[in-house]
Structure 1
């Protein structure tokens, strides 16, 4: 904590001015709850990097927004680009809308969106941590160590399931409960998360790969309006 100290040397006497009172560090959970207003939210970008220990490459970039209610996240809209495939997911309440990617060739003619219950995010290339959820943020703060404007720690997928609606909606199987996510949260001067970096090991095709997700958050408390797609473009059936 910095202190403003005025030193004056006069006639061989050292005079120390009064030290101003210091503001207490802002509690991130309290700061988040103050932003939870319906019709408002936060915008974010994700950069996902994959590594097999010898080779590292970009896996996917995402951008989107969370819309709040008084308790946390009420809706989200995410666009994902892996370079060869583009996907978009809109979630409102307990209903999800999915477009692009593998669905492109499975939708009936004239339909561009598939409607289903629950959510498909996060998947194995996503930011498992959702700092827009008060209970999740509280767990990350509790599990981590705070130093300056950052919090560093680790948490298992099983632990996240007990606090995060983001994880619960994804329906991730118990066989993945042991995945350990190492993270660093960067906090703004207002106590809000401006960056979340996470790393976890993922077993694919008998190989253990490392996935790193770097998320940036901007515009906390700004206006956000997420709407369902045009009903004429939506289907609940696949070809």
Structure 2
């Protein structure tokens, strides 16, 4: 704005009087002449000074990210998961949420995942078993009903709030079995929920993760980077990745390669990340496209009220011992 004002000021000052010209000194006082020289000098010096300021503002991506890691700061994100098999590409899930930062990085997160498929695909088909006793038929039918509810719950939005390494799950498959007055399930370990593996597992808002990505970049531009990184390398540096993949990586999984592209805004902060990977050769490729917005906004994420939280023990007690549901088993 200051440079723009200088340009306007220069345009209001008449050109220097030519020797022998008919300009009266009273009409062109010495003060205006000096002002004209000052204006010209300021305009000339303003360009490199402005460029220097812009260069200072365009910090390296890691420094820019660390400047955002303040208590109460946060960012919003939206994930879209696509599965490609052959020539067919299908959107499988959407996830949107917020991250809350602290001085050391991500302190809390709140996201909701919505799967995109028909409920009929998960319906548990039942058949009359004419060879069993009537009591066994009734018991089996009840079990199948529970499985139907479990699978159909996957078509419902699942919300996961994570605070201080504790995860609280609302809706989704678990929500089918929780009482209305205690709709939140506290999970016994940090998790992104049953749908957690369907969201972005690479988190460029973690300084260590961003540093690892940039170290593996094969394309480096001011606002665009791309490269490859393995699951094993991500597992070493990223708490977010370790939560997304709760089980330890096998040697084969550690070698899986992620192709990534990262786009930054003018402040060198992430605004888009795409990752693509496949679990085995010639298999379906999953691509996750994540958009980040609202850098520097105030974000507060709290655990649900204590009187609205159910425990895994309470959930398991709702099922008979002879009605096993593998998804509800906690190791």
**TM-score scaled by structure 2?**
0.62
Q: For the residues of structure 2 that align with 1:184 and 1:32, how far apart are their CA atoms?
A: 17
Pairing partner for 1:210 from 269, 285, 294? 285
Pairing partner for 1:130 from 175, 178, 203? 203
CA 1:187–1:97 in structure 2 vs 1: closer, same or farther (change >3 Å)? same
Whether 1:103 aligns to 2:178 is: no
Whether 1:198 aligns to 2:198 is: no
Deviations 1:86-114 (A, max 9, x none): 11111001100112222123335632111
Q: For the residues of structure 1 that align with 2:182 and 2:258, how far apart are their CA atoms?
A: 37
State how 1:9-48 maps to structure 2 within 5 Å.
20=48, 21=51, 23=55, 25-48=58-81
Q: State the superposition RMSD in angstroms.
A: 2.2
Structure 1 residue runs of 5 or longer lacking an equivalent are 1-16
Whether 1:235 aligns to 2:310 is: yes
Query: Could you say which residue in structure 1 is the equivalent of 2:223?
Result: 149
Cα distance, 1:230 vs. partner? 2.0
The more displaced of 103-112 and 81-90 is 103-112
Q: Could you list the runs of 4 or more consecutive aligned residues of structure 1 that deviate by over 3 angstroms after TM superposition?
A: 17-22
Query: Could you say which residue in structure 2 is the equivalent of 1:9?
Result: none
Query: Could you say which residue in structure 2 is the equivalent of 1:77?
Result: 110
Structure with the higher strand share, 1 or 2: 1
Deviations 1:5-41 (A, max 9, x none): xxxxxxxxxxxx8973552652111001001111111
Deviations 1:49-100 (A, max 9, x none): 1111232111111110000110100000001111333111110011001122
**TM-score scaled by structure 1?**
0.85
Cα distance, 1:131 vs. partner? 1.1
Q: For the residues of structure 2 that align with 1:162 and 1:219, how far apart are their CA atoms?
A: 29
Cα distance, 1:220 vs. partner? 1.1
**Residues matched between the structures, number:** 221
Q: Is the 8 A contact 1:65 1:77 kept in 2?
A: yes
Structure with the higher helix share, 1 or 2: 2
Cα distance, 1:219 vs. partner? 1.1
